[in-house]
Chain A
Amino acid sequence: MKEQNKIPTSKVKRAAKLIGTGAKIGGNYVKYYANKAIGDKNAKEKLDKDNAEDIYDSLSKLKGSALKMAQVMSMDKNMLPKAMTDKFAQAQYNAPPLSYPLVVKTFRQMFGKTPTELFDSFEKVAKQAASIGQVHFATQGDLKLAVKVQYPGVADSVKSDLKLVKPIAMRMLHMKEKEIQQYMQEIEGKLLEETDYLLELKQSMEIAEACSSLEGIYFPKYYPEFSNKRIITMDWIEGMHLKDFLATNPSQAIRNKVGQRLWDFYDYQVNELNLIHADPHPGNFLFQEDGSLGVIDFGCVKRIPREFYTVYFQLLNPSYHMDDDKLKALYHKLEFLLESDDRETEELFFNLFKESMDLLVYPFTNETFDFADEAYFDRIYKKGEELSKSKEIRKGGKARGSRHILFINRTYFGLFSILHELKAEIKTKTSFEFD
């Protein structure tokens, strides 16, 4: 891995970078209207692509929260046009590493010892970059360990980065400042939690313990004695990333098996634990040839408030889909529909949400669902683009949907897209109890 070299050096430069992006996007719009004026039918697609490239280019030069923000948005595929999500998807793997002397310094500060004094062996060059830290390989006796070290000053930069990203996000998502605020708060809260490695350690141990009865899923053992607020030490987990796993041409039976395990893992978390590992990007799962599955990185855990849980998952309840009045009442509770809506607006949004929700809960409505189904995913993307283009939604002027939905949906989109890549057929039962 190449050590980090070209990085914006100060907050001013970071700001300059993002303002530069804003200006470029402005330029892209000029190009768009020019293309449209000369009757280019693909103008809109070009615009999305240009925007995505410029935004991606500048985000990938920043670290930490901007990258994370890109990840959150890239997960939420229905929120973004396809061109953008493709670009953002790349952001998930490439973050530049930190120098070894800083790693040593952090160890000294936290343990009073250097990495090589603390462990029997410690590899200088990081094995992988995580979005706010990097992972080193170490050994202690017979143990193989993964040691995650956090970048300095991450928590501080989360806030300033999000402030900088906000105007761009508003522009991309056609939202007003007031609307986007509650969602930004939710993202900021989660990102700040992720910088707290002691919390991550606690969550990891808690979930690993609670899920220990699930078959075919394994978690690393965590070592609190080698962990603190900026370093987490856990077992080095063997396994392949999704892409490498698929390259081994696993049989359909194995793909179904591992997909089912993933599905059951999430079903269990949502319904039994009321919290979820909300970062289901492919880098956090390690696959083995026999279909067992390792899960790492519990930095982003969404706790689902009980009152929200009992309401939100009624969306899966078939009896609601027969009865528009019941469904309307449910949408009101979820803030899809607002008290202040007039009849016409209510009707409009009711239909909009019904159409997209029907689509999203579709896999749950059958005994089994084949996630290889291209047509289904195409419909999702099309719906997403349709929604993002919809003039009515923009005119609607108000934010809709409870903030809790953000990370839950992100989780399900992540899960769906992994299952899609696995081309797995899943028994999509849910243990949610309908009323």
Chain B
Amino acid sequence: MNEEKENIDWKENFKNEFVLYLVRNGEKPVTVFKFCEELGVDESLFYKFYNSFRSVETEVWLTFYQEVKIALGGDAEYSSYSALEKYLSFLYAVVEVYKQNRSYVVLRYAEVDRKSFRPWFMDAFREEFTIWTKDILDEGFDSNEIIARPLISSKYHEALWVQLLYITRVWTNDESEDFQLTDAAIEKSSALLFELMKSGPVDLLIDFLKFAYQNKAY
């Protein structure tokens, strides 16, 4: 019995059992003790891997992120994509991962305040996501797909984060066939954001005003 339990990946197992508990009961177990008792293990085993239920959930979302990255890695064409296409692939993959855990994601997002741009359970996810989007944005700068602007371009990744939260929310409320509404939301909002990050008329206007002012060409 004991040997059998030692062969289990308890870090993984606690996580899965916890999510199962949540979607079955709609709320978390009363205590870690109770949770472990039901699994037939000592609560000290739990604390070997996690500090609290919160850290379990942070781990759940981090795993989502990792699954997305694995999916992208499995796409032979991915490396040839433009920055926008890579980013779109990410969002489509995220939705696929969510789909495997719909009840859980819907449950969690029901709690999130619309104005909160920092759901606690996504903290670790966000850190990884930010690092990744910065890479993607750098690729975009290099290929001139998007342009760097003073002050604003260091905040681009935050706009993408807010978009991800928006997409997740749209998806949790999406009742259309095959979640086509979410697909359209991804397509349109990403195209819009990348268009805004592109060199456009406003840049020309600023450039012209600067020229006119500096050279007194007026």
Please tell me if the beta carbons of B187 and A102 are within 8 angstroms of each other in the complex.
yes
User: Given A109-B178, A153-B176: A102 and B76 within 8 A (CB)?
Assistant: no
Q: Are B75 and A5 in contact (CB under 8 A)?
A: no
Query: Knowing that A5-B195, A104-B92, A153-B176 are A-B contacts, what are 11 other residue pairs whose CB atoms are under 8 Å apart, sorted by A's residue number?
Result: A4-B187, A5-B194, A10-B188, A99-B88, A101-B85, A104-B89, A114-B76, A116-B76, A152-B178, A152-B181, A153-B184
CA of A101 to CA of B183, assembled, Å = 11
**Which residues on the B side are within 8 Å of A99 (C-beta)?**
84-85, 88, 187, 190-191
> Which chain B residues in 100-141 approach chain A with CB under 8 Å?
none
Ordered by A's residue number, 14 sampled pairs between the chains whose C-beta atoms are within 8 Å are A3-B191, A4-B191, A6-B192, A6-B195, A7-B188, A9-B192, A100-B81, A101-B92, A102-B88, A104-B75, A104-B77, A105-B183, A152-B180, A152-B183
Chain A residues near B191 (CB, 8 Å)?
Answer: 3-5, 7, 99
Known interface pairs A9-B189, A156-B180; A114-B84 also in contact (CB < 8 Å) = no
Q: What's the least CB distance linking A9 to chain B, in Å?
A: 5
Q: Compute how far the CA of A114 lies from the CA of B74 in the bound complex, rounded to whole angstroms.
A: 11
Q: Are A156 and B92 in contact (CB under 8 A)?
A: no
Residue pair A116, B77 in contact (C-beta under 8 Å): yes
Chain B residues with CB under 8 Å of chain A are: 75-77, 81, 84-85, 88-89, 92, 176, 178, 180-181, 183-184, 186-192, 194-195, 198
1/0 contact string of A222-254 vs chain B (CB within 8 Å): 000000000000000000000000000000000
User: Does chain B have a CB within 8 A of A129?
Assistant: no
Distance in Å from the Cβ of A11 to the closest Cβ of chain B? Answer: 10
- In-complex Cβ contact of B192 among A7, A152, A153, A156 (8 A): A7
Answer yes or no: A98 CB below 8 A from chain B CBs: yes
Known: A4-B191, A5-B195, A7-B188. A101 touches B176 (CB 8 A): no
Scoring B77, B81, B84 by chain A CB atoms within 10 A of each residue's CB, the highest score goes to: B77
**A interface, size bucket:** 20 to 34
CA distance A22 to B92 in the complex (A): 36
**B87 CB to nearest A CB, Å:** 9
- A9, A104, A105, A156: the one contacting B188 at CB < 8 Å is A9
Q: Which residues of A contact B184 (CB under 8 A)?
A: 151-153
Distance in angstroms between the alpha carbons of A233 and B191 in the assembled complex: 27
Whether the pair B75, A114 counts as a contact (CB closer than 8 A) is: yes
A116 to B78, CA, bound (A): 12
Counting residue pairs across A and B whose Cβ atoms lie within 8 Å, the total is: 64
Chain A residues at the B interface, C-beta cutoff of 8 Å: 3-10, 98-102, 104-105, 109, 114, 116, 151-153, 156
Q: Are A156 and B195 in contact (CB under 8 A)?
A: no
Residues from chain B with a CB closer than 8 A to the CB of A102 are 88, 92, 183, 186-187
Do B81 and A101 have beta carbons less than 8 Å apart?
yes
Q: What is the predominant secondary structure among interface residues of chain B facing chain A?
A: helix
Partner of B187, one of A6, A109, A152: A152
Please name all residues of chain B whose beta carbon is closer than 8 Å to the beta carbon of A105 when the two chains form the complex.
92, 183
Min Cβ gap A113→B in Å is 12
Q: Which of B77, B181, B186, B194 contacts A156 (CB 8 A)?
A: B181
Asked whether A156 and B176 contact (CB < 8 A) given A7-B188, A114-B77, the answer is yes
Looking across the interface, which residue of chain B has its beta carbon closest to that of A98? B187
> In the complex, how many angstroms separate the beta carbon of B165 from the nearest chain A beta carbon?
16
Q: A156 CA to B176 CA in the complex, in Å? A: 8
Contacts of A98 on B, CB cut-off 8 Å? 187
| A9 CA to B189 CA, complexed, in Å | 6
Q: How far is the CB of B167 from chain A (nearest CB, A)?
A: 12
The 7 closest A-B pairs by CB, nearest first: A152-B183, A101-B88, A152-B180, A153-B180, A5-B195, A101-B89, A153-B184
Determine the distance from Cα of A10 to Cα of B180 in the docked complex, in whole angstroms. Answer: 14
User: B85 and A153: CB pair below 8 A?
Assistant: no
Shortest B201–chain A CB gap in Å is 11
Q: Which residue of A lies closest to B86 (CB)?
A: A101
In the bound complex, CA of A6 to CA of B192 (Å):
6
Nearest-CB residue, chain A, relative to B198: A5
- List, in ascending order, chain A residues with CB within 8 A of B178's CB: 109, 152
Q: How many angstroms between the C-alpha atoms of A271 and B92 in the bound complex?
A: 48
Complex Cα–Cα for A109 and B191 (A): 22
Q: Which of A104, A114, A153 has the most CB of B within 10 A?
A: A153
Nearest CB on A from B139, distance (A):
15
* Complex Cα–Cα for A127 and B180 (A): 23
Complex-state Cα separation, A100 to B184, whole angstroms: 13
The residue of chain B having its C-beta at the shortest distance from the C-beta of A230 within the complex is: B178
A70 to chain B, nearest CB (A): 20
Whole-angstrom CA separation of A100 from B195 in the bound complex: 17
User: Considering only CB atoms, which chain A residue lies closest to B87 in the complex?
Assistant: A101
Q: How far is the CA of A116 from the CA of B77 in the complex (A)?
A: 9
